[in-house]
Chain A
Amino acid sequence: MISVVSTNITSPLGFTTEENYQAVLSGCSALKRYEGKWGLPEPFCASLFDDNQRASLAIEGYTFFEAIAIRSIRTALTYTTLGNSLSRVILILSTTKGNIEALGEELYYPSKAAQRIAEAIGLTREPIVVQNACVSGLSAQLLADRLLSAGFYDYAIVVGAEVQGPFIVSGFQSLKAVSDEPCRPFDMERNGLNPGEAAATIIYTSTRTGRHDAWHLVGGAARNDAYHNVTPQPQGEGLLLAINAAMEGKDKSRLATVQAHGTATLFGDQMESVAINRAGLSDVPLSALKGYYGHTMGAAGVLESILAMRATDDGIVIPVKGFAELGVSGRISISSKLQKTDKSAFLKAMSGFGGCNVALLYEASPQSSSTKKEERHRKKVHTVRLSSEDETSLTDIYKQEIGNYPKFHKMDILSRLAFVAAEKTLSDSKTLSNSPLKGENTGEDSLPLREGWGGSLEVWRGSVILFGHSSSIVADKQYLSTISDAGNFFPSPSLFTYSLPNIAASEIAIRHHLHGETCFYILPEKDEALMQEIVDATLSATGAQAAIFGWIDAESETQYECEMKVTL
Chain B
Amino acid sequence: MEQLINDLKQQIKEALNLEELSLEDFDADAPLFGEDGIGLDSIDVLEIIVLLEKRYGIRLESPKEGKAIFRSVRTIAEYVQANSKKN
Residues of A within 8 A of B (CB): 174-176, 228-231, 406, 409-410, 490-494, 497
How far, in angstroms, from A493 to B16 measured CA to CA in the complex? 11
- Is there an interface contact between B20 and A497, defined as CB atoms closer than 8 Å? no
Residues of B within 8 A of A409 (CB): 17-20
Assuming the contacts A228-B41, A231-B41, A490-B54, asked whether A175 and B17 have C-beta atoms less than 8 A apart, the reply is no
Q: A176-B62, A230-B43 are in contact. List 16 more A-B contacts (CB 8 A).
A: A174-B46, A174-B50, A175-B43, A176-B46, A176-B63, A228-B42, A229-B43, A230-B42, A231-B41, A406-B18, A406-B21, A409-B17, A409-B19, A410-B16, A490-B54, A494-B43
Give complex CA distance A491, B53 in Å.
Answer: 11
- 29 A-B pairs (CB sep. < 8 Å): A175-B43, A175-B46, A176-B46, A176-B63, A228-B41, A228-B42, A229-B43, A230-B42, A230-B43, A231-B41, A231-B42, A406-B18, A406-B19, A406-B20, A406-B21, A409-B17, A409-B18, A409-B19, A409-B20, A410-B16, A490-B54, A492-B47, A493-B43, A493-B46, A493-B47, A494-B16, A494-B43, A494-B44, A494-B47
Q: Contacts of B20 on A, CB cut-off 8 Å?
A: 406, 409
CA distance A231 to B44 in the complex (A): 12
A176 to B50, CA, bound (A): 11
Q: Across the interface, which residues of A come within 8 angstroms of B63, CB to CB?
A: 176
Distance of A166 Cα from B42 Cα, bound (Å): 23
Task: Report the tally of A-B residue pairs with Cβ distances under 8 A.
Answer: 40
| Cα–Cα, bound, A355→B17 (Å) | 22
Q: Once bound together, how far apart are the Cα atoms of A406 and B22, in whole Å?
A: 12
**Cα distance A231–B33 in the bound complex, in angstroms:** 15
What's the nearest-Cβ distance from chain B to residue A85, in Å?
Answer: 48
In the complex the two chains form, is B50's CB within 8 Å of A492's CB? yes
Residues of B within 8 A of A228 (CB): 41-42
B54 CB contacts on chain A under 8 angstroms: 490
Question: B21: which A residues are within 8 A, CB to CB?
Answer: 406
Q: A406-B20, A406-B21, A409-B20 are in contact. Are A493 and B41 (CB under 8 A)?
A: no
Return chain B residues, CB-CB under 8 Å to A491.
Answer: 50
User: Taking beta carbons and an 8 Å cutoff, which residues of B are in contact with A?
Assistant: 16-21, 41-44, 46-47, 50, 53-54, 62-63
A175 to B43: give the CA distance in the assembly, Å. 8
B62: A residues at CB distance < 8 A? 176
Find chain B residues with CB under 8 A from A176 CB: 46, 62-63
Contacts of A490 in B (CB 8 A): 50, 53-54
Query: Complex Cα distance A492/B53, Å?
Result: 12
The distance in angstroms between the C-alpha atoms of A494 and B42, with both chains bound, is 10
Q: How far is the CA of A493 from the CA of B62 in the complex (A)?
A: 13
Closest chain B residue, CB of each to CB of A231: B42
- A410 — nearest CB in chain B belongs to which residue? B17
Smallest beta-carbon distance B47→chain A, Å: 6
How many Å from the CB of B25 to the closest CB on chain A? 12
What CA separation (Å) do A174 and B20 show in the bound complex? 26
Contacts of B47 in A (CB 8 A): 492-494
List of A residues within 8 angstroms of B18 by Cβ: 406, 409
- Measured in the bound complex, the distance between the Cα atoms of B49 and A176 in whole Å is 11
Question: B57: shortest Cβ distance to chain A, in Å?
Answer: 12
Once bound together, how far apart are the Cα atoms of A414 and B84, in whole Å?
Answer: 37
Of the candidates A231, A491, A492, the one having the most CB atoms from chain B within 10 angstroms of its own CB is A492
Residue of A nearest to B60 (CB): A176
Given the complex of chains A and B, what is the CA–CA distance between A174 and B43 in angstroms?
10
| B51 to A: closest C-beta gap in Å | 9
Min CB distance B23 to A, Å, is: 15
Q: What are the residues of chain A within 8 A of B17 when measuring CB–CB?
A: 409-410
Nearest chain A CB to B4 CB, angstrom units: 20
Closest 9 A-B residue pairs measured CB to CB?
A409-B19, A493-B46, A406-B20, A409-B17, A410-B17, A490-B54, A494-B43, A490-B50, A231-B42
A497→B41 CA distance, assembly (Å): 13
With a CB–CB cut-off of 8 A, which chain A residues contact B46?
174-176, 493-494
- Shortest distance in angstroms between A264's beta carbon and chain B's nearest beta carbon? 15
Q: Which chain A residue shows the least CB distance to B62?
A: A176
Measured CB to CB, the nearest residue on chain A to B19 is A409
Of chain B, the residue at the smallest CB distance from A398 is B19
For the complex formed, measure the closest distance between the CB of B77 and the CB atoms of chain A, giving whole angstroms.
Answer: 20
Which residues on B sit within 8 Å (CB–CB) of A497?
43
| Nearest CB of A to B62, in Å | 6
Interfacial chain A residues near B44, Cβ < 8 Å: 494
Bound complex: CA A348 to CA B46 (Å):
31
How far does the Cβ of A542 sit from chain B's closest Cβ, in whole Å?
Answer: 29
Q: How far is the CB of B44 from chain A (nearest CB, A)?
A: 8
CB distance from A333 to the nearest CB of B (A): 29
Q: How far is the CA of A410 from the CA of B39 in the complex (A)?
A: 13
Chain A residues contacting B53 (CB-CB under 8 Å) are: 490
Write the nearest CB–CB distance from B86 to chain A, whole angstroms.
Answer: 13
Beta-carbon contact of A493 and B50 below 8 Å: yes
* Chain B residue nearest in CB terms to A408: B19
Tell me, rounded to whole Å, the shortest Cβ–Cβ distance linking B26 to chain A.
13
Chain B residues with CB under 8 Å of A492's CB are 47, 50
Contacting residues, chain A, for B43 (C-beta < 8 A): 175, 229-230, 493-494, 497
Residues of B within 8 A of A230 (CB): 42-43
A526→B25 CA distance, assembly (Å): 45
A230 CA to B16 CA in the complex, in Å? 16
Bound CA span A497–B47, Å: 12
When distances are taken between beta carbons in the complex, the residues of chain A under 8 Å from B19 are: 406, 409
Query: In the complex, what residue of chain B is closest to A493 when comparing beta carbons?
Result: B46
CA of A493 to CA of B54, assembled, Å = 14
A16 CB, min distance to chain B CBs, angstroms:
40
Considering the chains assembled together, what is the distance between the CA atoms of A174 and B18 in angstroms?
20
A175 to B41, CA, bound (A): 13
Give Cα A491 to B43, complex, Å: 12
Name the CB-closest residue of B to A495: B47
A543–B19 CA distance with the chains assembled, in angstroms: 39
